Structure 1
Amino acid sequence: MLRITLAQLNPTLGDLEGNAARMAEAARRAAAQGSGLIVFSQMALTGYYPADLLGQAGFMDRVEAALDALRRESAALPGLHWVLGTPTRIDHASQAGTLLHDSLLVLHGGELRLACSRQVLTSGDFDERRHLASGPDGTRLLQIGQTRIGLLIGAEAGIGDIAEPADPASPLARVAAAAPDLVLHLDARSSHLCRRSQRHAALARVAQQCAAALISVNQVGGHDGLVYDGGSLAALPGAGVVFEARRFEQDEPALVLNAAGGLHGAQGEALAPVPGEGLPVMEFYRRQLILGLRDYARRCGFARVVVGSSGGLDSALTLALAAEALGPDKVVGITMPSRFSTTGSVDDSVALCRNLGIELISHPIADLVAAYGQQFAASFGQPLAGLTLENLQARIRGTALMEYSNAFGHLLLTTGNKSEVAVGYCTLYGDTNGGLSLLGDLYKTEVFALARHLNAHAGRELVPQVVIDKPPSAELAPGQRDDDSLPPYPVLDEVLKFLIEGPLLPAEQYAAARDFVVQQQRSEEGRALVQRVQGLLARSQFKRQQLAPVIRVRARSLGVRDWQMPVAARHV
C-alpha cells in the first residue's frame, strides 16, 4: 500500500521563498501522517503562470536556490517522495534562446531522483510558447517499491479543447503503454463555468486509457483575473472520478493506493461518491468572485476596498460580495448624489450599507458639476449639456473615488457588468475607474440572479429587495432608464452570449442563445437588433482595452487576455 498526500496549495506568483516554505511545511505534515508520497501542482514552486517573470534577470537563479532548499528539506524526510512542478532551464544546445521547460521533478532523500518536462504546450489562458519549449522524450515512470507510477503534466492529459494526439509516442500513450499502477497528473487549471465537467471527463478517460488509478493535483487561489478552484481529484478505470478535494480552499487530503490498484481514504474508509453536478451556478459565482477578490487584494497589498454606491443593483452586489470576502469593516461605500439622483437611490444606499454593516460616506457632486458647467461655458462658448453633461457626472464620481483611494489606501472596485461593458454603456474614466472588476464577467440577468442568491444564502435581505426590483438607471439625466438606450437585458444578454462566447457556452445556454438569434434573424426588426448589438460590441472595444482586470467566471470574459479584438478594424 502507498499513502499519497495531495498538496492543493495556494501559491503566490513569484514568491519562491514563501511557496517553498509552504511546500516544505506540507511535506512535513504528510510525513508525520505516514505518507510515502506527496504530490504538488504544476509549477507549484513559482505558481502558475509566472509569465514574463520567467524572463527577469535572476529569476531562475532564485528558482534553483529554492529547489535546492527543498532538496535539502527532502533529506530530512527520507521516507517521503516529493513530486512537484517547476520551470527549469534547458541544458542542451538544440534549444536556442532563453526558453525554459515546464518540468516535473521527483525528490527523495536529498536527491533529484527523476525529471521530465511537458511536451504538450497550449495557447489557452497564456501564450506559453513565449517562455517555454516542448520537453524532450524522457522517462515517464517512477518506481516506489512495487508501485509503478506514470507521470503527466498539464495539457498532456487532454483537458478541455486540447485533444491528446493519436501519436503512440505522445506522453499519455507512452504512460499507458508502460502499464502503471498509478498515474500522477500535475495540473494548474483555472476555473470557469464549464471547467469542472471538462476536467472530470478528461481525467476519467486518462484513467480508463491507462487502466490505472489516477491522481490529479490542481492549485487553488486567485491570480489577477483568473481563479483556480482546486478540486484535486482521483479517478479509477470504469468508475470515473471517485474523489474530489475541497474547492476554493487549500486542502491536503491523503488517499491510499491498495495492492489491487484501488483507492480508499487515509483511515481505510471507502471513498464517498462524487456528485456529477458541481456547485449550483450562482453559488459557483459567489465563491469564485469572493476568492478572486480576497487573493487579489491580499497579493496587491490592499487591506480595504472602496465602492461607489449609486443605489443601483451593480454597486449593491459589489458591496455585498466585498463585505463577505474581506469583512464589513474593510469596505467603504461612497454615495455621490447629483441633482438627477432620486431620494430613493440615496435611501437605498443607506439601507444597503446598514444591512451589510459597512460605512457609507456622502460626497455630493451637484456643486462640482455646476462649477464645471460654468467654466465650460466661459471657455468654450456653449453650455454643457446632453451626453457631455452625463459623462461629466460619471467622471466627477470616478475622480472622487480615486481621490479617496489615493488618500486612504483603499482598492477601488469598479461595478460594471458584462452586458454594459460589452456594448459600451459605461463612461471611460468615470464609472469604469477602478483596480478590479467583480461583475465584469456577469451578464446583467445574472447580476439579478446572484443578488437574489446572496440574500437566500445569508437567510436575510443583504441587498434590499427594492434595489433588485427597481428599473436599472444610470441617473445621469431626468427619468433616465437603461432600456431607453439598450434592448431589454433578457434580450440583450442572449444576443451577447451568442456573439461573445458562442460554442464555449454550456450546451444548454448555447442552444438557447443560438435559437434566440436564429429567431431574431427571421424578421427585419430582429435582424436590425442583432446588427445593432454587433455594432455596439465592436465600437466599444477601445473602452475595454483600458479597463480594470475582470475576475473570470465564464469560458470567455471580455478581459484583454480572452477577448483579443482589434480596435481600429471593420467588424461588421
Structure 2
Amino acid sequence: MIRIALAQLNPTVGDLAGNAAAIIGAMHSTQAELLVCTELSLCGYYPGDLLEEESFLRRVDHALEDVLAASRTVPALVTVIGTVRRNRGPGKPLFNALLAIQNGAIVAEYYKQLLPTYGIFDERRHFEPGPEGACLLEVAGKTVGFLICEDGWNSDGRDYKVDPFAALRAAAPDLVVSINASPSNIGKRAQRHALFNAAAMKNKLPIVYVNQVGGQDQLVFDGASFAVSPAQGVAFEMPAFETGIDVVAFDDGRFTGQLQGRAMPDTELARRQIVLGLQDYARCCGFKKAVVGCSGGIDSALTLALAIEALGAANVTAITMPSAFSSEGSVSDSVTLCRNLGIRLHTHPILDLVRQYGTGFESAFDAPLQGLTLENLQARVRGTILMAYSNASGALLLTTGNKSEISVGYCTLYGDTNGGLGLIGDLYKTEVYALSRHVNQVAGREIIPEPVLSKPPSAELAPGQQDTDSLPPYEVLDEILKWHIEGSRLPAAQAQHAQQFVEQLLLQQGGAALVKRILGMVARNEYKRRQAPPIIRVRARAFGSGRQMPIAAHYA
C-alpha cells in the first residue's frame, strides 16, 4: 500500500520564498510516502513574461535549493513539485517541469509534452515541449507514472498528435499522478471527471489528479483534486475552493479515502469563485479595502454583497452619486441595501458638477451638452469621483458591469468602466439576478432588497430611461450572447438551449435583424472591452485573454 498526500495549495506568482515555505510546510505535515504538489507550484501559475527575466529564474533556482535542503529532514518522503527548468538544447529556453525530490536529490524529472495555446493559455510562448515517453518512479513498492495537466487531456487523440497516455499505457505503472493548474469555470468539474474517468478506463490506469486553489488575475483555481480508478470511477475528491492536504491510500488498483467534494449549483460556484478571486487579487496587489459606486440597481448591489463576503463589511465602502435623473427609489434602495449589509454609504451628488460641465461645454463649443454626450458625462463624473476616493483612501475600486452590458457596449469608457477589477463581468444579467437571490438565500434574510430585484433595469442617465429602450429583454439578449460568444464551450444543456433559442428566434419576424444587430454591437465595442479592467472569469469563455478579437476589422 502507498499513502499519497494531495497538497491543494494556493501558490502566488513570483512569491518564490512563500511558495517554497508552503511546500516545505506540507512536507513536514504528512506521514504519507508520496506528497504531490501542483503544476508550477514553486513559481506560481502562470508567470507570463516573468519567465523571460533572468533574475526571476535565479530566484526559482534558489527556491528549489531550499526545498531540496528541506527534503533531507524527511528522507523517506518523495515530494512532487512543479517548477521551471532550463532547456539546454534547441527550441524555447524553458521546460514546464515536474520534479520528484527525495532526501536532497531529484529522483525523477518530467517535462510537460502538450503545451496549450488556446483560450486563456499561451504556454508555447515560453516552453519547449518535453520529449515523448513515460517517466516512472518506484515509491513504496508501487510504480508511479507522471503527467502535467494538458498531457492528460488528449486521451481521445483529437487535439494533439502526441498522446502521453499511450506511453504510460505501454509502461503499465501501478498508478499515474497528474499535477495541474486547471482554472475553474461553470461545468469544469463535470468535464474533468468525465475526461479522466474515460482515460482511466481506456488506459486501465488509476489516476491521482491534484489541482491548485486560488485567484490569479482573471483566473480562479478551484482545487477539487480527486482520484479515479477503472474499478471505482471517482473514488476520492477534495473540497473545492479550499486549501488543504488530504491523504488517499492506494493498493490493488483501488483508492481509499474520504469523498469530501460535491457538485455545486452554478450560482454557488460563481459566488465562491468570485469571492476567492477578489480575496487573492486584493491580497496579491496589496489592497485591504474596496469601494463601489452604489446606484440602487442590481449590479452594484450584488457587487457590494460579494465584496463584503470577500473582504468584510468594515473594509467595503459604498458611494451613491445622485443626478437630476436619479429616482427617489434608487436613493432609498441604496440606503436600505447598505443598512442590510452593515456598511457606510457616502452621498456625493453630481447635479452641480454636471451643470458646470454643461455651461463650460456650451461656452467652449457653442453647442449644448445633451443626448448621449450628457448621459456619458454623468457616468464619467461618477467614475472620476470614485477614482478620487480610491486614490485618497487606498481602496480598490470595483466595477459593476455585467457580461450582457459589456458585450454590447452598454457602458461608458472612463465612467462606469473605471476601476481595478470587475466582479460580475462574466455573469450575464439573468445570472446576476439568480446570484442575487442566492445571496439572500445563503444569508437566510433579505440582503439585497426585493425592490432592487424587481424593478426594471435602468442606467438612469435620461428621463424615464430603461435598459429595454436600447436592448431586447435580457432573457432574449443573454441567449443570443451565449450562442455567439461561447457556443460549444457552454455546458451541453446550456449550449443546446441557446442554439435552439436562436434558431427559433431567426424564424420569427424581425428575429434575424435583431440577431444581426446584437452581433454588430458586440463587434463594434471590442475597443471598450480592451480598455476595461480585468474581470473574474466564471465561464469557459470570458472577455480578456480568453477571447482575443481584433479591434480594427470588418465583421460581416
Of residues 289, 303, 308, the one that matches 1:304 is 289
Alignment of 1:466-485 (within 5 A): 466-485=451-470
SS of 2:481's equivalent?
Answer: helix
SS of 1:113's equivalent?
Answer: strand
Kindly indicate whether the alpha-carbon contact (under 8 Å) linking 2:68 and 2:104 is maintained by their aligned counterparts in 1: yes
Alignment of 1:205-284 (within 5 A): 205-258=198-251, 260-265=252-257, 271-272=258-259, 278-284=263-269
SS of 1:462's equivalent?
Answer: coil
Post-superposition CA distance 1:123-175 (Å, at most 9, x none): 132211110000123551111242111111111101699847575xx421111
Identity of aligned residues (%): 52
Of residues 117, 127, 139, the one that matches 1:123 is 117
What's the counterpart of residue 73 of structure 1? 70
Kindly indicate whether the alpha-carbon contact (under 8 Å) linking 2:231 and 2:254 is maintained by their aligned counterparts in 1: no
What's the counterpart of residue 145 of structure 2? 150
How many angstroms apart in 2 are the aligned matches of 1:195 and 1:55? 31
Kindly indicate whether the alpha-carbon contact (under 8 Å) linking 1:45 and 1:86 is maintained by their aligned counterparts in 2: yes
What's the counterpart of residue 362 of structure 1? 347
Of residues 33, 36, 44, the one that matches 2:33 is 36
Kindly indicate whether the alpha-carbon contact (under 8 Å) linking 1:150 and 1:180 is maintained by their aligned counterparts in 2: yes
RMSD of aligned Cα (Å) = 1.5
Alignment of 1:416-455 (within 5 A): 416-455=401-440
SS of 1:528's equivalent?
Answer: helix
How many angstroms apart in 1 are the aligned matches of 2:126 and 2:80? 23
Alpha-carbon shift at residue 506 of structure 1 (Å) = 1.1
Alignment of 1:442-521 (within 5 A): 442-521=427-506
Q: Relative to 1, partners in 2 of residues 1:428 and 1:245: Cα closer, same or farther, differing over 3 Å?
A: same
What's the counterpart of residue 268 of structure 1? none
How many angstroms apart in 2 are the aligned matches of 1:89 and 1:134? 12
How many angstroms apart in 1 are the aligned matches of 2:145 and 2:203? 9
Alignment of 1:326-337 (within 5 A): 326-337=311-322
Q: Structure 2 counterpart of 1:72, which letter?
A: A
Post-superposition CA distance 1:312-353 (Å, at most 9, x none): 000000000001111001100000001111111111001000
Q: Relative to 1, partners in 2 of residues 1:273 and 1:223: Cα closer, same or farther, differing over 3 Å?
A: closer
SS of 1:354's equivalent?
Answer: helix
Q: TM-score, normalised by structure 2?
A: 0.97
Kindly indicate whether the alpha-carbon contact (under 8 Å) linking 2:287 and 2:396 is maintained by their aligned counterparts in 1: yes
How many angstroms apart in 2 are the aligned matches of 1:337 and 1:527? 39
Q: Structure 1 counterpart of 2:547, which letter?
A: W
Q: Are 2:14 and 1:14 equivalent residues in the alignment?
A: yes
Q: Relative to 1, partners in 2 of residues 1:348 and 1:249: Cα closer, same or farther, differing over 3 Å?
A: same
Q: Are 2:516 and 1:568 equivalent residues in the alignment?
A: no
How many angstroms apart in 2 are the aligned matches of 1:230 and 1:518? 37
Specify every segment of 5 or more residues in structure 2 that has no aligned partner in the other structure, as ranges: none
Q: Structure 2 counterpart of 1:196, which letter?
A: R
Alpha-carbon shift at residue 447 of structure 1 (Å) = 0.5
Alpha-carbon shift at residue 207 of structure 1 (Å) = 2.1
Q: Structure 2 counterpart of 1:153, which letter?
A: I
Q: TM-score, normalised by structure 1?
A: 0.95
Alpha-carbon shift at residue 523 of structure 1 (Å) = 3.2
SS of 1:538's equivalent?
Answer: helix
How many angstroms apart in 1 are the aligned matches of 2:467 and 2:156? 37
How many angstroms apart in 1 are the aligned matches of 2:507 and 2:230? 48
Kindly indicate whether the alpha-carbon contact (under 8 Å) linking 2:302 and 2:436 is maintained by their aligned counterparts in 1: yes
SS of 1:58's equivalent?
Answer: helix
Kindly indicate whether the alpha-carbon contact (under 8 Å) linking 2:2 and 2:140 is maintained by their aligned counterparts in 1: no
Q: Structure 2 counterpart of 1:89, which letter?
A: R
**140-149 or 71-80, which moves further after superposition?**
140-149
Q: Structure 2 counterpart of 1:78, which letter?
A: P
Q: Are 2:119 and 1:134 equivalent residues in the alignment?
A: no
